Amino acid sequence: MRKHTALLILALTVGCIDVPAVDSIMDNILPDEEVEYQQATLMEANGNFAPESTTNESVFNTAVQAFLEDPFDFEEVFEDITWEEYEHDFQIPEDSRFLVIEVKVDYEALGGEDINAGPAGSFECSIIAPDGREFCEGYTLANWNDRDDGLEISWIIPCPSIVGEWVIKVSGSGMEGLPGIAYSGTYEIKVKSEILVSS
């Protein structure tokens, strides 16, 4: 707007002008107004990890009993258990400048305050962009000594700000109900960006 006003004043003052040439000069003298972005949280989600609903009850009960007897032998105890997958989606609007996804997981176990090493739990994550590309794909075995604060383990995942619908799929180890007193796992997801508010 300032550039157009300046060109009009110049034309009225000196008559006919070479607009492309003057436009280039005006870009340097009167740069475009600064754009303004605002931080925004696009999505927040949380939940409890749990075995798949189709898990054989006797297999599950055996795993729980084995875990209570030896909580340090996590992988062998739960090797026959498949964990439920949870799906969350969010939209990236136009004029967003970046995308950061924060993921936190938290495991608790009987006697967990005395566990300083060894596997704490499993975590699997897939972040799918609107164009089908996947980020953070794969399986992670979290350890008790990975804890940042208490039993919390966190990741910060930068992604390109591709406009459209994104999908986050997560699964991990944990038990609900009475077995959850012995061992449980939870997750939190927060999606952040900066959105253009003026230009």
Give the CB-side neighbour count of residue 164, counting CA atoms within 13 A.
10
Domain identity same for 180 and 128: yes
Per-residue pLDDT for 7 more than 50?
A: no
Give the chain's largest Cα–Cα span.
Answer: 92
Domain identity same for 22 and 96: no
- Indicate the average pLDDT of the chain: 78
The helix (H) or strand (E) run that includes residue 90 is strand 85-92
Domain identity same for 166 and 74: yes
Residue-number span of the structural domain to which 154 is assigned: 36-198
Work out the angle at residue 67's Cα, subtended by the Cα atoms of residues 70 and 115, and round it to the nearest 5 degrees: 55
> How sure is the predictor about 15, in pLDDT bands with cuts at 50, 70 and 90?
very low
* Stronger pLDDT, 73 or 79, i.e. the higher one: 79
Per-residue pLDDT for 145 more than 80?
A: no
Domain of 146, CATH number, reads 2.60.120.380
Domain identity same for 46 and 89: yes
* pLDDT at residue 19, as a whole number: 46
Strands 96-109 and 152-159: antiparallel
Number of domains in the chain: 2
* pLDDT at residue 111, as a whole number: 60
* Stronger pLDDT, 58 or 167, i.e. the higher one: 167
Per-residue pLDDT for 9 more than 50?
A: no
Domain identity same for 23 and 117: no
Work out the angle at residue 25's Cα, subtended by the Cα atoms of residues 20 and 26, and round it to the nearest 5 degrees: 95
52 phi and psi angles, rounded to 5 deg: -60, 145
* pLDDT at residue 186, as a whole number: 93
> How sure is the predictor about 126, in pLDDT bands with cuts at 50, 70 and 90?
very high
The helix (H) or strand (E) run that includes residue 175 is none
Domain identity same for 170 and 157: yes
Domain identity same for 95 and 117: yes
pLDDT in tens, 97-118: 889 999 999 888 776 555 666 7
Domain identity same for 138 and 101: yes
* Stronger pLDDT, 45 or 145, i.e. the higher one: 45
Domain identity same for 85 and 149: yes
Average confidence (pLDDT) over 126-154: 78
In 3D space, the residue among 6, 3, 51, 18 whose CA is nearest the CA of residue 184 turns out to be: 51
What percent of the chain has pLDDT above 70?
Answer: 74
* pLDDT at residue 114, as a whole number: 56
* pLDDT at residue 147, as a whole number: 61
Domain identity same for 5 and 67: no
Domain identity same for 83 and 1: no
Domain identity same for 120 and 187: yes
Work out the angle at residue 51's Cα, subtended by the Cα atoms of residues 46 and 56, and round it to the nearest 5 degrees: 165
Q: Give the residue carrying structure tokens 């209570």.
A: 68
pLDDT in tens, 38-72: 899 999 999 999 999 888 888 888 887 787 777 66
Indicate the pTM of the whole model.
0.75
Q: Starting at the earlier edge strand, list the strands of the sheet with 36-48.
A: 36-48, 183-198, 96-109, 152-159
What is the distance between the alpha carbons of residues 191 and 42, in angstroms, rounded to a whole number?
5
What is the distance between the alpha carbons of residues 110 and 182, in angstroms, rounded to a whole number?
5
* Stronger pLDDT, 188 or 135, i.e. the higher one: 188
